[in-house]
Amino acid sequence: MTTSRREFLKTSAALTGGLMMGMVLPESAISAGTLHTPNAWVHIADDNSITLLCARSEMGQGVYTSLPMLIAEELHVDLHSVKVQNAPPAAVYVNALLGAQITGGSTSVRDGWEKLRVAGAQVREMLISAAADEWKVDRGLLKADKGVVTGPNGKHATYGHLAAAASKLPVPEKVALKDPKDFKIVGKRTKRLDTAHKVNGSAQYGIDVKLPGMLYASLEQCPVIGGKVVSFDASAAKTMPGVVDVVQINDGVAVVAKSYWQAFTARKSLTVQWDEGPGAAIDHNTVLKSTRDAFDTIAALPIGKPVGDVAQAMQGAARTISAEYISPMQAHAPLEPMNFTADYRDGKITLIGSTQFQQGAQGAVAAALQLKPEDVSVQTTFLGGGFGRRLELDFIVQAAQISKAVNKPVKLVWSREDDMTHDFYRPLGVNQLQAGLDAQGNPVALHFKVASQSVTQRAFGLPKATFDPFMGEAAVAGYEIANTKHDLHIVDTGIRVGYWRAVSHNMNAFANESFIDELAAAAGKDPYAYRLSLLANKPRFANVLKLAAEKAGWGTPLPAGRARGIALMEGYDSYMAQVAEVSVDEKGVQVHRVTVAADVGHMINPDTVEAQIQSSVVFGMGAGLMQEITMENGRVKQTNYSNFPVVRMFHSPDVSIVLVPSTEKPGGIGEPATALVVPAIANAVFAATGKRVRKLPLTAKAIAQA
């Protein structure tokens, strides 16, 4: 799966153009004047300060700590001596798992695991060589530790002293890496390096950027996504306090003023005539219908290889069971609304803000403004949440177009309502599953079908009728069943869709893990034991399942009204099982406790692994229990956290976590628990009420109607 994603996106990035760039240093690094560049990742200054150019955005997942840990381990320095700076767009920083400089897909550690340790080791060896040259001694007699190279007769020199000479040496191609058993930093619980900035208001997010002479913009967009301006009247807005200009761009009409509030206030007095376009006909019921129709109208693409003969096995089965599951559209709703700062002058532009996709920002703005990519610089701040929304470039291009139109630095800030109604939504998914059971209730055949919309078609131009690997995640479950077939039907419903934390794991794991629970119930067997019986040759799956069940006290008595549900999945090379403990009343589901067992391979920072699991459980719970995006006349009906509710502290369950020590290659951990908590809860609701809810979200109403 990973290979096909990589190969696909490589091709795709080349086709869309503008993504391959030479190495450039951020301006701040150049102006420091004393930095030396042993390689593209590590800079050491004369004053001994060490900077990691971090090619991934910090959006909460801890990369500004985990990636420096990898460098520091091989550079033999204290982690706290490493500063982090976000890298500019450059080919050297491409994420090998995604084929572009993207932070997403739970890939940062998986991509950096070897690359950054090699980078640290290369610099270490170059510093040693520089010392050997200076002292005219055999480099085999030298060692580098704690920022100092030492040699015979008490000779020593700091990394800072050696950096200038080291940076002129060739980068060694082959370097020895530590045996993981000798790790001093990697694998240890480590405090995040960015926390201190995030408890006193000093961390800078995109929305906090301020440039000299900067103006503020608020953009009126068509209520129907994709609609265009026919005409507008800005006469009233232009007379309002602070308003500097009103300009039309591709996506709407922007009021530019001396303060955000003035721009936002004046925007309300605009009158805009829209051509709403074909999107005006979209309704969530038509989206559901066309997605469901796709099973009959659109040819199936195989997910993985079919095993055995499903049709024949179904015929021979003692009985067959079918079910349909529906996962609705979702908004990302990160707490920092979309915003970006652009400074266009003399045919060049500087872009500063919160983005998960530096190369994309550069390429898209270059194309929109007809600039050369090298004339578009991108600086990344902290991100106030991403979850996939900041892979999109719409708001960055808008800021650039507005800055160019007024020829001044501009910060574009969206309102929460802009954000909620102009997202790139998680597509609706419909899964239809059929199983054949033998006389004992064991599955002998499984036919899995999913219909949904391809984000990759929209975002990267994946040709139609081509398999989208981001739709088949977690479709093939771990269970050993003799005859299986998995089909993907890709439909275009007209919705502007986007990658949403855990992407297709969400719909596919909800379907698979609900369905296996239904099969266990049909067989009259315990859902944990039933799963385990299908994992005889799947040790990593079986292990996490057992650990979660043990830790959660599976099978032990619970207070009246409470019940447990279990679920199991592999995602991002991580294996995970969850047990949710819930109660249900007229107000809906209360989740008391979630137990997670995870085998994520080699861990860099176990504390971050736990934090990401806690985070994902809460994020997934919101989608599973309370959120959905609906549309009428092409307009998204949800506008703010009032009608798109999110999990708050009083909803938040106890999360207990078991981590499996492992020397397997690292798996991703930013996302999988998001998907898996939903079927764990749905299965617990079934255990508590006997009601099987197959259409999310699992509200009180949905349970009452099930």
**Which one of 103-111, 161-169, 244-252, 645-653 is the stretch in contact with another protein (CB under 8 A)?**
645-653
Q: Distance between CA atoms of 602 and 110, rounded to whole angstroms? A: 10
User: DSSP letter at 440?
Assistant: T
SS (H, E, C) 447-494: EEEEEECCHHHHHHCCCCCCCCHHHCCCCCCCCCCCEEEEEEEECCCC
Q: Minimal distance in Å, beta carbon 443 to another protein?
A: 35
SS (H, E, C) 208-245: HCCCCCCEEEEEEECCCCCCEEEEEECHHHHCCCCEEE
Under the criterion CB under 8 A, does residue 379 sit at the interface with another protein?
Answer: no
Q: Which of 77, 234, 246, 333 binds another protein (CB under 8 A)?
A: 333
Under the criterion CB under 8 A, does residue 204 sit at the interface with another protein?
Answer: yes
Q: Which of 18, 26, 62, 429 binds another protein (CB under 8 A)?
A: 62
Instruction: Say which residues have a Cβ less than 8 Å from residue 658's Cβ, sequence separation at least 6.
Output: 547, 548, 551, 595, 596, 597, 598
Q: Which of 99, 104, 360, 384 binds another protein (CB under 8 A)?
A: 384
Q: For the CA atoms of the chain, what is the radius of gyration? A: 27
Q: Which of 131, 383, 568, 576 binds another protein (CB under 8 A)?
A: 383
CA torsion sign for 451, 453, 455, 457 is positive
Q: Which of 32, 300, 406, 611 binds another protein (CB under 8 A)?
A: 611
Q: Which of 160, 328, 334, 527 binds another protein (CB under 8 A)?
A: 334
Under the criterion CB under 8 A, does residue 216 sit at the interface with another protein?
Answer: yes
Of 571 and 620, which has the nearer Cβ to another protein?
620
Of 112 and 384, which has the nearer Cβ to another protein?
384
Q: How many CB atoms lie within 10 A of CB 692?
A: 17
Q: Distance between CA atoms of 253 and 261, rounded to whole angstroms? A: 16
Strands annotated E in 62-179? 82-86, 143-145, 148-150, 156-158
Please name the amino acid found at residue 323.
A
Q: Are 433 and 449 in contact (CB under 8 A)?
A: yes
Of 292 and 390, which has the nearer Cβ to another protein?
390
Under the criterion CB under 8 A, does residue 213 sit at the interface with another protein?
Answer: no
Under the criterion CB under 8 A, does residue 387 sit at the interface with another protein?
Answer: yes
SS (H, E, C) 272-287: EEEECCHHHHCCHHHH
Under the criterion CB under 8 A, does residue 241 sit at the interface with another protein?
Answer: yes
Under the criterion CB under 8 A, does residue 537 sit at the interface with another protein?
Answer: no
Q: Distance between CA atoms of 417 and 399, rounded to whole angstroms? A: 18
Under the criterion CB under 8 A, does residue 260 sit at the interface with another protein?
Answer: yes
Q: Minimal distance in Å, beta carbon 339 to another protein?
A: 9
Of 282 and 331, which has the nearer Cβ to another protein?
331
Q: Are 530 and 479 in contact (CB under 8 A)?
A: no
Q: Minimal distance in Å, beta carbon 349 to another protein?
A: 23
Of 200 and 663, which has the nearer Cβ to another protein?
200
Under the criterion CB under 8 A, does residue 203 sit at the interface with another protein?
Answer: yes
Q: Which of 18, 26, 38, 60 binds another protein (CB under 8 A)?
A: 60
Q: Minimal distance in Å, beta carbon 640 to another protein?
A: 5
Q: Distance between CA atoms of 572 and 600, rounded to whole angstroms? A: 9
Q: Distance between CA atoms of 180 and 165, rounded to whole angstroms? A: 30
Q: Which two tokens stand for residue 56?
A: 């991934």
**Which one of 108-116, 198-206, 391-399, 550-558 is the stretch in contact with another protein (CB under 8 A)?**
198-206
Q: Minimal distance in Å, beta carbon 202 to another protein?
A: 7
Q: Which of 80, 156, 184, 191 binds another protein (CB under 8 A)?
A: 191
Under the criterion CB under 8 A, does residue 230 sit at the interface with another protein?
Answer: no
Q: Minimal distance in Å, beta carbon 625 to another protein?
A: 13
Binding footprint of another protein on the chain (CB under 8 A): 58-62, 191-192, 194-205, 207-208, 210, 216, 241, 259-261, 333-337, 382-387, 413, 415-417, 607, 611, 614-619, 640-642, 646-650, 652, 654-655
